[in-house]
Amino acid sequence: MAQAGAPVYRRVLLKVSGEALAGNQAYGIEPETIGRIAEEIREVIGMGVQVAVVIGGGNIFRGIAASAGGMDRATGDYMGMLATVINALALQDAIEKAGVATRVLSAIEMRAVSEPYIRRRAIRHLEKGRVVVFAAGTGNPFFTTDTAGALRAVEIGAEVFLKASKVDGIYTADPAKDPGAVKLPRVGYIEALNRGLAVMDTTAISLCREFEGDPDPTVREHAAQQTRFLTDRRARDG
């Protein structure tokens, strides 16, 4: 049991969607929004928590959308990975302006702007109190940044996996498109898969279930309430 005032988790991984960085804009990066995210990360670091971030690229480019328009899917996915590197550099800049040392580790080597992803190096950065931003997803096409988040969380031994976007919880449908969408307070792994809930892709959910971590798809932007995937036996069995 954590002592009073002590953080519940020692090491966390936060998945930030590209759309979250856009703020109220339809495209790109809103300085006020990314600055606020950086300040919140700084506050968490100040509590003694190690923070890693996986960043999306949907505010700049979506490979799957380009594929639907006729582009080769692998090519579109690689372009999307490059978009995540742009976002990672922007987030690094914002966090360092907030006073916290930050390192970008890319799954696609770009030595001029980032370090290559090496698991032990990432863990060492975290142990030194630096924020680690993982860019370029898994480095492979056909895998989303949600899956990259789940994978990196397992690799670095994160105690909780958080997902942040513009929605304040898990719903039965996209609340931006369906006014009848209902917010779900508690969701099990199998239930999420069976109901086709789009909070994360099925590969990411399955990976979290397999390793029985504490994934917390909090799909939110600065919301107080959190929606959790339960990790007890009943939740895992649906």
Could you report the per-residue pLDDT of 223-234, keeping only the tens digit for each? 223 333 332 323
Residue 22 within any structural domain of the chain: yes
* Distance separating alpha carbons of residues 16 and 135, to the nearest angstrom: 11
Q: Is residue 20 part of a domain?
A: yes
134-176 pLDDT per residue, tens: 999 999 999 999 999 999 999 999 999 998 877 778 888 888 8
Torsions phi, psi for 31 (to 5 deg): -55, -40
> For residue 85, is it within any domain?
yes
Q: Does 1 fall in a domain?
A: no
Per-residue model confidence (pLDDT) at position 236: 37
pLDDT of residue 14: 96
Say how far apart CA 175 and CA 178 lie, in whole Å: 5
Closest CA to 132 of 105, 151, 159, 107: 105
Looking at the structure of the chain, the number of domains it has is: 1
Which positions ≥6 away from 59 have C-beta within 8 Å? 18, 19, 21, 22, 25, 27, 28, 29, 83, 87
Assigned domain for 141 exists: yes
Asked if the structure places residue 3 within a domain, the reply is no
| CATH number of the domain within which 199 lies | 3.40.1160.10
Structure tokens, 86:
């742009």
- Please indicate, yes or no, if residue 2 is contained in any of the structural domains: no
Question: What's the pTM?
Answer: 0.84
Q: Residue 84: which domain range?
A: 11-236
- pLDDT the model gives residue 3: 58
pLDDT of amino acid 212: 65
Residue ranges in the chain modelled with pLDDT below 50: 213-238
Answer whether 49's CB lies under 8 Å from 11's CB. yes
- Which is nearest to 100 in space by CA: 44, 160, 29? 44
Q: Is residue 4 part of a domain?
A: no
